[in-house]
Amino acid sequence: MQDTGIEDNAARKALNDDRVVDGAKATNDPTVANARRQGRGYGRGHAVRAAAAASAGKGYGRRHSVDKHRDYVKAGGPERVESELVKERQRARHEAGVVRHGHSLASILGPAFVAAVAYVDPGNVAANVTSGARYGYMLMWVLVVANAMSVLIQYQSAKLGIVTGRSLPELLGSRMSDAGRFMFFMQAEVIAIATDLAELIGGAIALNLLFGLPLFAGGVVIGIVSTVLLMFEGGRTHRLFEKMVIALLLVITFGFIAGLFIAPPAPADVLGGLVPRFSNRDSVLMAASMLGATVMPHAIYLHSTLVNDHYAGGEERPTTRELLHGSKIDVFWALVLAGTVNLALLILAANSLYGMKGTDSISGAQHAIVSVLGPVIGTIFSIGLLASSLSSTSVGTYAGSEIMHGLLRIKAPMWACRVVTLVPGLIVLWFAPNPTEALVIGQVILSIGIPFAIIPLLRYTHDRKLMGKYVDGPIKHAIFIAVAALIVALNVLLIVLTLLGIA
């Protein structure tokens, strides 16, 4: 009984000591180190108790102490001690004014909503409005399927970041040669520039519609405002950055669904759009482009970073299991919101713009909305488009910065990353006679980058050395393979058809 009390006191001392390192007190004692190693298979708490028992046993003989500790484990004692210690630490933390927010579900939410901005960028706006204006409600089911696939992919990216503590670009960079890292970075940077191009053009068009600004001047304004927004990314202001992006996402939502309240669609027509079908070859091509362009490469790269940057300010993190559970909820609701926005755009076009000409461009769609639903709804639509541009271009630059950091191990200032992606877009706005064509080219370039992001994610989440007990099981891995193969195949088809002038 005396030995047991000594072990209890030693366990308390080891758990409460501020010099505890990785769950066990730093020491050069080989017996303690061995006990700590033995504890790895049973969790950090077991390792601490084993180390503490070995330390406490120095006066009585180390072997005797470790043997007594093993008997104590079998008797179920450590569980009772651990429960008491947890309560003591919680009381001490409360008395000291330290409040733990890590277990709060609300504190975990946020990263997926930032990543979800990629799914409501100006490119998606153009595709959904065009689909609804051409084919009515017929391709609604395509958006539903695409959104379901996006939920799986974004959760896998979040899961990789949570379990490994590293982003997808970091993992890629650690497994490549110098030449491989540079080549991979170059293609990823081209994708980031193409992403920013689409978002910059959308914002410039929105400012032109709202204030009559020339496209180039509008692009400059978008670049300046988005750079200011990026100043809040990182460190203690990262949560503020998340809140601002989420606020813009809510503006996007209101801006794009407002028209449905003025001219509500018939419920029967909406439900009919959920039945999979096609009318002709062109509708098949449109469905392929909608599915293929749904998943954005930069959203995959970035989400694995966002889940860790969410706690960059030094806030105590929840456990891995809690983070994964919270991330499932985060991803589900974020992409339900993004999917709702995309469906609203298609339904709005199907209900109010069906059969109208000139809706293949964003500005043409806006003018059609004004003529049918009035200038107020047209203005709200333009505001939603502006919010879409500002939020998505900021998130795209953020992704480019993390790709550079992970692959090249260079932490460049955010403003420098913004300049790299902004300048090519401004050049296109200055010289391109038809920015909508540039938007289409940008979407094709994005399609090229999909396999480079989704295939490594597929491999790493099925790597037991990386994921440990959180590795994907055979059923989930098979589903992910099927989803990834479908998306990659559709993107390849979209590229080929575009090059042949068919799509």
pLDDT in tens, 71-127: 444 444 444 444 454 445 445 444 444 444 444 677 788 899 999 998 888 888 888
**pLDDT tens string 293-303:** 677 888 999 99
Nearest-5° Cα angle at 196, 195 to 200: 130
Per-residue pLDDT at 241: 87
Tell me how many degrees the CA angle 427-429-433 measures, rounded to the nearest 5.
115
Q: Is residue 353 part of a domain?
A: yes
E-only strand ranges, 354-425? none
Same structural domain, 65 and 206:
no
120 and 88 share one domain: no
The answer on 268 and 206 residing in a single domain is: yes
The verdict on 32 and 156 lying in the same domain is no
Distance from C-alpha of 1 to C-alpha of 61, rounded to nearest angstrom = 16
Does 156 lie in the same domain as 70? Answer: no
Per-residue confidence (pLDDT) for residue 93, from 0 to 100 = 45
Same domain flag for 77 and 173: no
**Residue 145: predicted pLDDT:** 92
Position 186 in a domain: yes
- 60 and 141 within one domain: no
- What is the per-residue pLDDT for 502? 67
Matching residue, tokens 């929840």: 318
Could you tell me what percentage of the chain is helix, strand and coil, using 3-state DSSP and rounding each to the nearest 5?
80, 0, 20
The distance from CA 436 to its chain's CA centroid, rounded to whole angstroms, is: 27
Distance CA 233, CA 396 (A): 12
Asked whether residue 218 is domain-assigned, the answer is yes
**DSSP H helices in 353-413:** 362-373, 375-408
Give the alpha-carbon dihedral of 50, 56, 61, 67, to 10 degrees: -30
Domain C-terminal end among 67, 95, 123: 95
Note the pLDDT of residue 47: 44
Domain boundary among 45, 61, 95: 95
d(CA 194, CA 164): 29
Q: Which residues pair with 21 in a beta bridge?
A: 24
pLDDT in tens, the chain (503 residues): 444 444 444 444 444 444 443 444 444 444 444 444 444 444 444 444 444 444 444 444 444 444 544 444 444 444 444 445 444 544 544 444 444 444 467 778 889 999 999 888 888 888 888 889 999 999 999 999 999 999 999 999 999 999 999 999 999 999 999 999 999 999 988 888 888 888 898 899 999 999 999 999 999 999 999 988 888 877 678 888 888 999 999 999 999 999 999 889 999 999 999 999 888 878 887 887 777 667 788 899 999 999 988 886 666 788 999 999 999 999 999 999 999 999 999 999 999 999 888 787 888 888 899 999 999 999 999 999 999 999 988 888 888 888 999 999 888 888 888 888 889 889 988 887 777 667 767 777 777 888 899 999 999 999 999 999 999 999 999 999 999 998 888 878 877 877 777 65
Domain final position from 27, 62, 95: 95
- pLDDT tens-place string over residues 462-492: 999 999 999 999 999 999 999 999 888 887 8
Are 385 and 125 contacting, i.e. CB atoms less than 8 angstroms apart? Answer: yes
DSSP code for 234: S
333 falls within a domain: yes
Q: Are 204 and 345 part of one and the same domain? A: yes
Q: Of the candidates 42, 90, 39, which has an alpha carbon nearest to the alpha carbon of residue 52?
A: 39
**H/E segment holding residue 356:** none
Whether 47 contacts 24, CB under 8 Å: yes
User: Over the stretch 49-64, which tens digit does the pLDDT of each residue have?
Assistant: 444 444 444 444 444 4
Do 86 and 181 have their domain in common?
A: no
* Judgement on whether residues 172 and 25 belong to the same structural domain of the protein: no
Is 173 in the same domain as 312? yes
- Return the pLDDT at 30: 43
Q: What is the CATH number of the domain that holds 154?
A: 1.20.1740.10
Asked if residues 141 and 275 have their Cβ atoms less than 8 Å apart, the reply is yes
**Residue at 100 is within a domain:** no
- Copy the structure tokens of residue 76: 């179920």
Residue 464 lies in a domain: yes
Residues 394 and 332 in one domain: yes
Which residues form the domain of 388?
Answer: 105-499
Number of domains in the chain: 2
